[in-house]
Amino acid sequence: MITPKTIILPVDFSTRAAATAAHARILAKQYGATIVALHVMRPFQLAAEGVDVPSAAVLDWYTQQRPILETQLEEFVNIYLKGSKVKTIFREGEPASEIIRAANEEKADLIMISTHGYGPFRRFLLGSIAARVLNDSHIPVLTATHVEAPADEAEHIKSIVVAVDLDARAGKLIAAGNSIAKEFGAVLHVVHASPDDGAGAAQYIDPTWRIEVAHRMQAQLEQTVMDAEATAKVHVIPGEAAKVIRQVAEDVNANLVILGRHLDHSFFGRLRTHSYAIVREAPCPVLSL
């Protein structure tokens, strides 16, 4: 069950942050949530190496910058979060660490953060701050490589795609998606992408096996949907996960993609590569649970 009551919204005063704020406002209104607008002031750094800067100069820089940024944060809230229940927090330090720390201290249910996604290399890039938050946060994170403010402030989530593997987590992800779909009256789509349909070498021995495996996967997911007491359209499509999910999301005009992520902090338990790819490729925000 996804019922956010406290939403952390990192603010860097960019147009992407403003667009993300509009979506945060929609969620906050729907769930009666409080938005915690957070700005993190980075530590003082010099572009040139080996320059000896007196501590008094650093202190003077902080003294001048902090009130300016605090005023900007208040102005951002007044413009982009007007009408919402908002708490502002100003921190100094490494942004990702401070975002996660604030989320823990505020007992937040959701972090909403945008990341860069511009230029010809968009598919290979994921903002370092967003990547660290995705890796290290133990609460749901909603992010997108590109996000635009909704044309209509009354616009709701109308179509949701849940990306699943055929594992034990599928039911929980489908249930989470169903909860959000019910809240907004949205259509739910469950998508499983398999590079070879699971048929393996057998497909070359018996061509009908490929079709049979696809039917079995479809039936298994439909049963999982029923077990989760959800209502959803099931899609089993061969291909690379990120590309399949992007195509389905575009076809159904999805407003949200939901996927699971691993929180094991060993090397092999970090967020899987395909999850990063899904975030990069998705045409809409992605909620990582």
Q: Note the pLDDT tens digit of each residue in 66-117.
A: 888 899 999 999 999 999 999 999 998 899 999 999 999 999 999 999 875 4
What SS3 state is found at 264? coil
Whole-number pLDDT of residue 59:
62
Please state, in angstroms and rounded to a whole number, the distance separating the CA atoms of residues 215 and 217: 5
Q: For the chain, list residues with pLDDT below 70.
A: 1, 44-62, 116-127, 145-155, 195-207, 209-210, 262-273
pLDDT the model gives residue 164:
92
- Cβ neighbours, 10 Å, residue 78: 10
pLDDT of residue 130: 84
Residue ranges of domains in the chain, CATH in brackets: 1-44+55-155 (3.40.50.620), 157-278 (3.40.50.620)
In angstroms, the CA 129 to CA 14 distance is 14
pLDDT tens-place string over residues 137-166:
889 999 876 566 665 555 578 999 999 988
Q: What is the pLDDT of residue 278?
A: 86
Q: What is the pLDDT of residue 187?
A: 97
pLDDT score recorded for residue 48: 45
Exposed / middle / buried, residue 188 (Cβ in 10 Å: 0-12, 13-18, 19+)? buried
CB of 10 closer than 8 Å to CB of 99 = yes
Global pTM value: 0.81
Residue 53's pLDDT is 55
216/180 Cα distance (integer angstroms): 27
